[in-house]
Amino acid sequence: MNVVTRFAPSPTGFLHIGGARTALFNWLIARHYGGRYLLRIEDTDRQRSTDEAVAAIYDGLDWLGLASDEPAISQSARADRHVEIANSLIAAGAAYRCYLSTDELKDVRAAAKSAGLPFRSPWRDRTDAPTQPTHQQPSQNQPSQYHSFVVRMKMPDEGSTTITDLVQGEVTVQNRILDDMVILRADGTPTYMLAVVVDDHDMGITHVIRGDDHLNNAFRQTMVYRSMGWDVPEFAHLPLIHGVDGAKLSKRHGALGVGAYRDQGYLADAMLNYLLRLGWSHGDDEMISRAQAIDWFSLDAVGRAPARFDPEKLADLNAHYLRAMDDDSLYALILPKITPVSLAAKARITTLMPLLRDRAKSHLDIVDAAGFLLHDGAPELDESARTLLDQAACARLVALMQAAPETDWNVEMFQTFLGEWLTANDVKMKDIGLPLRAAVTGTRQSPSIVDVIVALGREETIRRVEETCKKQGFEI
């Protein structure tokens, strides 16, 4: 099967979650069948389309690994081709020039709505219209009311149109409900309804995979295909994505552009895996690699009900991917955002990486949690840590450090020593653990304090305890 798919976003903002999933499904179908996956920027709305939005789309797709197999096509650059096809449709009797003025258009539309009928312009069957082939200025002999026109498709009044959608199944509409849609505006620019068909045909698109908010458009666009004698592609209309409350997905549900998730520390593979599971499933499999997705993906496994975007589930999945990474890869990921002051500081991070990773939902959580490891000497204390340190606490910490073995520390050895010291001195762990954590990390939140001080090492731990207590004004 020679499959060609496309992702065709409008560059009016960032690459949002729904668009990214549509791109992914198009990419997967092309990869599954060994076909091509293309990108088209639908920028005919020049007032809303921006270069920044186009750049954001490229950036988001590149991050997800969904870049086009060929250079992207700009829809606005193909306007001449769209006009050419509009004129061909006029010549074939499938479209016509409509010279209704603004006031006349309102009246005709209101009358059709009142009668429960589709919009039909009185110009669809008139033969007295000017014959200029393009939107040129009319001659002096032409009546002023004919100075501008739009081009409309001449929709059939009888019969029905059926689409066998690869997701929605067989869907039928009666042709009599279809308005005579505009395909060229009065200024000669094509509408989306014409441009998308011409571009999909010229690009050789075999499968149009998009959101189900375009399902009604498919019937109208089918008329253009048939009128031109072109093959109609396979359609697959994906249910839209909703929030956890079942309402249409919006920013209030935590739905951001994919670039924002990258900036928040999410991994591309985790995001791709999560998008894949929004409306598609493969048994009970949750973590699915790209290779598995390509092998398993099919449109008949896409559900018809709206998927629900849950930021907490995305975060949990991202945590799974973090835990699956090896320590070296994870260190390389956080390295651009940290600055260890010494080789010893770097060693501390790699030593504690398994514990830091297990507490994190994103690699930025690791960056935040590793701050106390990056420097040598006393940490900066946050407000919660200061409340844990007083003269008595510092005295106990110094006594503990003085009694600690002078050999290299390891977890098992230090746990044994600490238990014996607590018993011998009639001290509770809660009276030593939190102050010790505060003194060496600057906060009350960290991985196991024994793991922390073993990673810091004997010399650095003692140094931090003594410097911290002195900086707080306590005698040691």
Per-residue pLDDT of the chain (476 residues; tens, 9 = 90+): 799 999 999 988 789 999 999 999 999 999 999 999 999 999 877 667 788 889 999 999 999 999 999 999 999 999 999 999 999 999 999 999 999 999 999 999 999 999 989 999 999 988 776 655 444 433 444 444 445 899 999 999 999 999 999 999 999 999 999 999 999 999 999 999 999 999 999 999 999 999 999 999 999 999 999 999 999 999 999 999 998 888 888 777 767 889 999 999 999 999 999 999 999 999 999 999 999 999 999 999 999 999 999 999 999 999 999 999 999 999 999 999 999 999 999 999 999 999 999 999 999 999 999 999 999 999 999 999 999 999 999 999 999 999 999 999 999 999 999 999 999 999 999 899 999 999 999 999 888 999 999 999 999 999 999 999 999 998 87
Question: CA separation (Å) from 287 to 123, 274, 283, 326, 331?
Answer: 58, 9, 11, 17, 22
pTM of whole model > 0.85? yes
Q: Give the burial class of 104: count Cβ atoms within 10 A of its Cβ; 0-12 exposed, 13-18 middle, 19 or more buried.
A: middle
Q: Which conformational region is residue 320 in: left (phi greater than 0), alpha (psi within -120 to 50 degrees), or beta?
A: alpha
Let me know: does 27 contact 60? Beta carbons within 8 Å.
no
Q: Cβ-count burial of 437 within 10 angstroms (0-12 exposed, 13-18 middle, 19+ buried)? A: buried
Q: What pLDDT is stored for residue 187 in this prediction? A: 92
Tokens in use for 426? 């009639």
Radius of gyration for the alpha carbons in the chain, expressed in angstroms and rounded: 33
CA 168/CA 163 separation, integer angstroms: 9
**Cα separation of 158 and 177, whole Å?**
10
Q: Which of 3, 87, 6 is nearest to 42 (CA)?
A: 6
Tokens of 427: 């001290």
Q: What residues pair up with 237 in beta bridges, in sequence order?
A: 210
Residue with tokens 């997905």: 249
Query: Which residues, 6 or more positions from 338, have their beta carbon under 8 angstroms from its beta carbon?
Result: 349, 367, 370, 374
| CB neighbourhood size of 202 (10 A) | 13
Cβ neighbors of 377 (< 8 A, separation 6 or more) are 463, 464, 467
3-class state of residue 353 by DSSP: helix
